Structure 1
């Protein structure tokens, strides 16, 4: 069981009483001085050696009583026995605490010094060390008991029938379920093919090689399927690269043809535009010349208006009329 507050306090107080005042640890090879104080042999020897180097008289480091020039360190056998008993008891208490924390499961049949259990018997509801397990297995009536490993995480509730609370000692082959004796005798499994857990275990062990062979064949089939799948995958990737390269080449050719066609069309447009622009420039020049000529005609007509002689006015006007003035409906626009 866990320590109480009083036990912790008593243990702590005893630790203080059995501690060397120099190193503050539990006595190791304790010796006593003539003044009655006790120390670890090694600790007091260091103190006395320092006093000798300082040429000071030997004295107790606690009460300062001078010890005389000749010094004998007396072994404290009684105190040594108390320290050993205390350390042994403390070790047992620590082991008990470790067991309670689940680190070690003690054997239920060990009386004085419980050994760690190696198996749990679900029928006996007890933990067994190796020695008591050997005795348990020698009894014929115990051979069918259900044993589980210690520390596997299995709880007693997992091994008990939820309906009847009994240990699951049997296996129903028809429904492939663990059942208890009451399920077997009077429960819903009556008339089913029932075997003990050991028989079921042995049967499964016999079936295990066949199951492993079957799984091995299945594994081989899956491996072959994976290899074929990988081959298909590689073929798809290769085909995809080839098709991609072909499509890219086709579109590059199409782009080249389109660019060439574009250049030809643009060149034709430019040639046509340049021809039209040249024609426009020619007409523009002719129109400018015609305009300049008309300006001159206007100037001539202006002079005719100033002609005072009627004969000369009519003559010159008729001449200009025939030569320079265009007939009606003449258009100079393009």
Structure 2
């Protein structure tokens, strides 16, 4: 109690320190003057407005320090945070005090002069006991089996009593599966039934609980093992997939590289052959043009010689012309060109070879796919086995529940 008052005193003092000197309430949007005093922004604005006079300076309402004709109200962020923290703490303390007051205090039924606070309720005695009377109650041998519950259990106490006789439920009817009082087993509707005590029922249920705990522990261990195996299978599957993918990518890359190299080689050979034959054709063409030019010159000379009227000169010039023509080479050289051609038969042959290769490659890849499919089926079979095991466990669980 003293601590509470002490805390309250400190809270009140702190509240005074966090109050505006003008409105005497907790700071709201506090601002700081140059003299060091803080006020609510709205409060200081009103106070300074009342001071406003022509060519006059403002002064602090607390210390009367001259502040100047122009003021810059700076927000006091630190003081604002302190006020918010104080309000949050105060609100929490008030809530805690309200919760403590709302909690019901039950007095001891056996205290005479000054009732102490009860700590337990005895269902057999139908009384609430303080710690001292609870110790005396438990010391009696005849009351060792009494049922003690928390104070203020309310509806829990009513659930422990027979609705027909108002007595404490002390027995269990195995025929009807109900908790009953002693009168129900002697003269009530459960007379002649297979009746056992709550203690015996507790022992049996406790044994069944231990069986279920053992079974659940086995299930937990089995599931942990299965999860580890599944994780290993997942990791292995990922590794295998990466390996197969890498191998196939490398294989196809090698095939593409080989085909590209073949393509470049063949096209390069065709281009080289074209260049060589074009060079040869150019050389032969130049030679044929030179011979044609000489033949044209000799032809013009002979045509002009026909006009010679001097017989002697004609014979002399004609003889020289014949000798010159005989010494020249006007033969036509043949050009055996190697022209690359692909007839439809060769194209069809290449296509057959390509499809044969693709068919063999497809067969190899189909074998890989079949192997993967069989592995998935084997894994599915293992899962089905696990499902059967789970079914057996489900039957055991159903048996335990029954």
State the structure with bigger RCO (CA 8 A, min sep 6), 1 or 2.
Answer: 1
Q: Normalising by the residue count of structure 1, what TM-score does the alignment of the two structures yield?
A: 0.43
**Which structure has the highest helix share of the two?**
2
Q: Normalising by the residue count of structure 2, what TM-score does the alignment of the two structures yield?
A: 0.37
Give 1 or 2 for the bigger CA radius of gyration.
1
